[in-house]
Homo-oligomer: A and B are copies of this chain.
Amino acid sequence: MLNICLICVGRMREKHYISAFSEYEKRLKTYCKFELIELPEVRLPQAPSQAEIDAGLAKEAEEIEKRIPSGSYLIAMCIEGSQLSSSDFAGLIQKCANEGKSRICFVVGSSFGLDKCIKNRADFHLSMSLMTFPHHLARVMLAEQIYRGIMINEGSKYHK
């Protein structure tokens, strides 16, 4: 069974995003092992310097690295990554499964993104849009796309 892990920095606060995410999480659990790991966001001063941001990202990266399941196909979410259509994204999930990489780990950074070391280590850099979305909304969007991808691979009518 496909094993999907989603590592996110920052705890979701908005009830509507928590509820939307839970809905996709519930649906996903019928088709795969799905685990959400929420890591604390490093607190930064109100107007942080680049050095403070970088130090925060590096600290967050240390915690992320500890939680990436060994042997995972690692997908880092970043705005400068490659965009895929939902069908091509479904193809990527299928390819991992076909090649025996049944463990896929997605990483969504904090509002300042992800440290370079996570990006360097990743097998794929995925961007959902040229637009910047709040990372909590991005998490809902990603959960929906993972569900959609699995539905495409299952031949379901969810994706028209």
Using a CB–CB cutoff of 8 Å, the interface residues on chain A facing chain B are: 14-17, 19-20, 23, 83-86, 89, 111-112, 128-134, 137, 140-141, 144-145, 148, 159-160
Contacts and interface: CB of A to CB of B under 8 A. Distances in A.
A67 to B, nearest CB: 25
Task: For the complex of A and B, list the 6 residue pairs with the smallest distance between their C-beta atoms, beginning with the closest.
Answer: A16-B19, A16-B20, A16-B16, A129-B129, A83-B130, A86-B132
A148 to B, nearest CB: 7
A23 B14 CA distance: 10
A131 to B, nearest CB: 5
A160 B128 contact: no
Contact of A20 (B17, B112, B131, B160): B17
A90 to B, nearest CB: 10
B130 A84 contact: yes
Contact of A17 (B16, B83, B132, B159): B16
A159 to B, nearest CB: 7
Contacts of A16: 15-17, 19-20, 23
A127 to B, nearest CB: 9
A145 B138 CA distance: 12
A148 B160 contact: no
Contacts of A148: 131-132
A138 to B, nearest CB: 10
Given A137-B144, A144-B137, A160-B111, A129 B20 contact: no
A130 B85 contact: yes
B134 A137 contact: no
A134 B144 contact: yes
